[in-house]
Amino acid sequence: MSAQEQYASLYTDLLRTVRELGLLRRRHRYYYTRLGLVLGSLPIVALGVVLLGDSWFQLVPAVVLGLVLVQVAFLTHDSAHQQIFHSKARNEWTARILAGCVLGMSVNWWRTKHNRHHAAPNQVDKDPDVQLDVLAFTPEAVAKRRPLGRWFAARQGWLFFPLLTLEGVGLHASSLRHLTRRESSRLDLVVVVTRLIVYVAALYLLLPPGKATAFLAVQLAVFGVCLGAAFAPNHKGMPIVPAGMKLDFLRRQVLMSRNVRGGVFTDFAMGGLNYQIEHHLFPSMPRPTLRRVQPIVREYCELHGVKYTEVGLFTSYGIVVTHLNEVGLGARDPFQCPLAAQLRG
């Protein structure tokens, strides 16, 4: 067997085992229950806003709405990954409705970006998640910045979580920019814009301007922080892959991903993204099955000498902050060691 065939068989052998154990089967009851509970929470929040009226206690339903929309985003993610239904069309329409009508975003924009990330996580010339304008992930990116940008990059780790309060606004803005392109769907544009206008108009009709603005700001901040905090620990601080570097599928997905250790609360708060290694290896695997497949994947990686990374939640955030600051300060070169040492091993 050639080296190329051996590397390819690493993943195909694991995939065969997972299929034979039935771990790729759909979990309809789980998702129907989750969809019912999450979507059923929205009219309850709306009723709370109406009953509270002109009160600063409106910030409570603002927080709740932000948390509920995070769960909607997780369900959109699962549906876009074909995890909920057997039918590709049903998954795509579910993701489209959840994203456009409930979140007020374009699922096509997100899917395009997210698929590129899955294809080459942490690769500087392919992964859009390491090509951000705000954060720098390589010393080369820092060097291209002006003095103010370099000052920000040196402190970007400490500023990361405060910046997440603006993530909700940023996601809506990026989605709208995508939808205004000529090749984008006019229907999606109408749905997203209508949802945003109706939501904002309802707030300002029900509440005085000051309280409506505060409600909107709190809801978007909670949404951005919680969603960003779920995605941030998965790859930031893991090895950065140089442009053009070739890796077999198993190593590409495992070495660049980090799992977050925890129980039921962590699974809920992170939408199953804490099993990031398993999710990258089996993107269409239903969320509740990821916990079951984890020990199989971990043992398989240990058997074949592939480093499997898993840390606690707060440890993962510490790694993210430290890594971003070190990149900004040029304290170390992410092209060294973690990835090179693993491959040499």
Query: pLDDT digits over 296-308, tens only?
Result: 999 999 999 999 9
Question: Rounded to 5 degrees, what angle do the CA atoms 288, 34, 188 make?
Answer: 105
For 237, residues 6+ apart whose C-beta sits below 8 A from its C-beta are 258, 316, 319, 320, 322, 323, 324
Backbone angles phi, psi at 104, to 5 degrees: 80, 40
Confidence of residue 335 (pLDDT cuts 50, 70, 90): very low
> Model's pTM, two decimal places?
0.90
Question: Rounded to 5 degrees, what angle do the CA atoms 233, 177, 283 make?
Answer: 40
Q: What is the pLDDT of residues 252-311, one digit of tens each?
A: 999 999 999 999 999 999 999 999 999 999 999 999 999 999 999 999 999 999 999 999
Q: What is the pLDDT of residues 156-178, one digit of tens each?
A: 999 999 999 999 999 999 999 99
Q: Which of 30-39, 208-217, 286-295, 328-337 has the lowest mean pLDDT?
A: 328-337
What percentage of the chain has pLDDT greater than the value 90? 74
Tell me how far apart the alpha carbons of residues 241 and 247 are, in angstroms, rounded to a whole number: 9
Confidence of residue 340 (pLDDT cuts 50, 70, 90): very low
pLDDT of residue 314: 93
Rama region for 159: left / alpha / beta (φ>0; ψ in -120 to 50; rest) = alpha
Q: Helix 290-303 vs helix 3-20: angle between axes, to the nearest 10 degrees?
A: 150
pLDDT of residue 8: 61
Q: What is the pLDDT of residues 68-77, one digit of tens each?
A: 999 999 999 9
Tell me how far apart the alpha carbons of residues 220 and 200 are, in angstroms, rounded to a whole number: 12
Q: Which residue has the tokens 């060691």?
A: 337
Quick one: which of 306, 302, 278 has its CA closest to 292? 278
